[in-house]
Amino acid sequence: MPASWTGRRRYHTNSADEPVTRGPDHLLIVSHVLARLHQGEVYLQGGFGRHLDAFADRAARVTILTCAQRVDQAPDEYRLRAGNVTVVPLPAYGGGGRLRRYGRMMRVAFAALLRLPPLMKSADVLHPRLPSAVGMVGAVLSRSFRGPVVYYMAGDWGAALRAKGHPFARLLAGILDPTLRWMVRNGHCFAAGDAVARVIGGGDGVTAVMTTALDSSHVLDADAVADRARRDPRLMLFVGAVWKMKGAHHFVNAVPMLRERHP
């Protein structure tokens, strides 16, 4: 963490007034990623869960303000290992038709607006995750937060809106891009890859990071993968949840183009 982030209760320093390796006493994460709660355990989407476990190793305690639901059976998702994480639940807004989903999204954003300010009073670091209805609330309120703010930009909302082709969606995208840049201007922003970092404006306040919790050690040695691709590039592997937002359908649609250009 930057030395400028040291402060009251925020980062303990040594005698040379330099930050030590341990992190904040209380890290507050604002997100929409659905947490499923079962018998005292927290289950999350894999990538977010692994990142959260990594955060929890560096903080005394972590609070997540996110959508949550209690389930009767343990879900087939990543089980959070850390014991210092508390979930403050918001209602889930997924499912249903488009209008119903947007209505739920507004309800979740309003609930976040009510619950977030009291949590911010005890937080040392505020960490809104974007794009997200809940994260947008956290990003707006971060302008009044006196501690360090760390944003994570997981995707390009503007590009997703423009791809719809509707004039209103394109207008909204034109408004959204500068708004997001304004939001992250008072803190440091981590972006999922170089392309998203450029959308946010780049510069010293934006850092592009790896876009997945998996690396070559989880799959195959990188050299072996490259050698296999050179020898017989017929097998393609997609690792991830088959959600529309992951863009797997774009890959499927691109296969005929690949076969035409690279038979």
For residues 136 and 251, membership in a common domain is answered with no
**Which three-class secondary structure state does DSSP give residue 204?**
coil
For residues 148 and 221, membership in a common domain is answered with no
Name 42's Cβ contacts closer than 8 Å, sequence gap at least 6. Answer: 35, 36, 79, 80, 85, 87
For residues 98 and 178, membership in a common domain is answered with yes
Domain that holds residue 227: 217-261
Kindly state the average pLDDT of the residues 85-97.
83
Residue 73 tokens, joined? 């059976």
pLDDT tens string 189-219: 888 888 888 888 766 788 888 766 555 555 6
For residue 208, the model assigns a pLDDT of 83
Of 84, 86, 94, 36, whose CA–CA distance to 64 is shortest?
A: 86
Query: Alpha-carbon distance 203 to 190, whole Å?
Result: 11
> What's the pTM value of the predicted model, to 2 decimals?
0.73
For residues 231 and 197, membership in a common domain is answered with no
For residues 8 and 91, membership in a common domain is answered with yes
> How many separate domains does the chain show?
2
For residues 129 and 232, membership in a common domain is answered with no
pLDDT tens string 8-31: 334 333 344 444 445 688 999 999
- 42 pLDDT more than 90: yes
For residue 2, the model assigns a pLDDT of 43
CATH code of the domain covering residue 24: 3.40.50
Of 182, 208, 206, whose CA–CA distance to 195 is shortest?
A: 208
For residues 26 and 60, membership in a common domain is answered with yes
Question: How high is the mean pLDDT of the chain?
Answer: 79
For residues 201 and 223, membership in a common domain is answered with no
